[in-house]
Amino acid sequence: DAGITQSPRHKVTETGTPVTLRCHQTENHRYMYWYRQDPGHGLRLIHYSYGVKDTDKGEVSDGYSVSRSKTEDFLLTLESATSSQTSVYFCATFPTGQGNEQFFGPGTRLTVL
């Protein structure tokens, strides 16, 4: 499972507050991703990283920012949370040159009231 942990696992916050979700991996995988999952949808890409300090936007990046200062950590920040950001957030990693399997963390359930 690529040793992926996400913290917190559950969070309830209020509209307008900043929130940071953390993804930590132990396998030194190059690529890291943040997806969100909503009812009726598959997972949708928010942001991704292809190396330390190298990040880029996915399809649903509005209202989110990311940072990767170390290979093992990828942070997702909601600068000012909105109710539309209530979702389950998954982190994933992808090692290059080892097939097409991406490894997913256990998810963080975020509720914005």
Partner 1 sequence: GESVGLHLPTLSVQEGDNSIINCAYSNSASDYFIWYKQESGKGPQFIIDIRSNMDKRQGQRVTVLLNKTVKHLSLQIAATQPGDSAVYFCVEFSLDTGRRALTFGSGTRLQVQP
Instruction: Tell me how far, at minimum, the Cβ of 46 lies from partner 1, in Å.
Output: 10
Instruction: Tell me how far, at minimum, the Cβ of 6 lies from partner 1, in Å.
Output: 9
Q: Which of 73, 68, 54 is nearest to 3 (CA)?
A: 73
**Are 93 and 25 a contacting pair, CB within 8 Å?**
yes
- Where on the chain is the footprint of partner 1 (CB under 8 A)? 4, 31, 33, 35, 37, 39-45, 48, 50, 56, 58, 88, 90, 92, 94, 96, 99-107, 109
Q: Which of 51, 52, 82, 48 is nearest to 66 (CA)?
A: 48
Which is nearer to partner 1, 64 or 90 (by Cβ)? 90
Which is nearer to partner 1, 16 or 106 (by Cβ)? 106
In sequence order, the 6+-apart residues with CB closer than 8 A to the CB of 59 are 44, 45
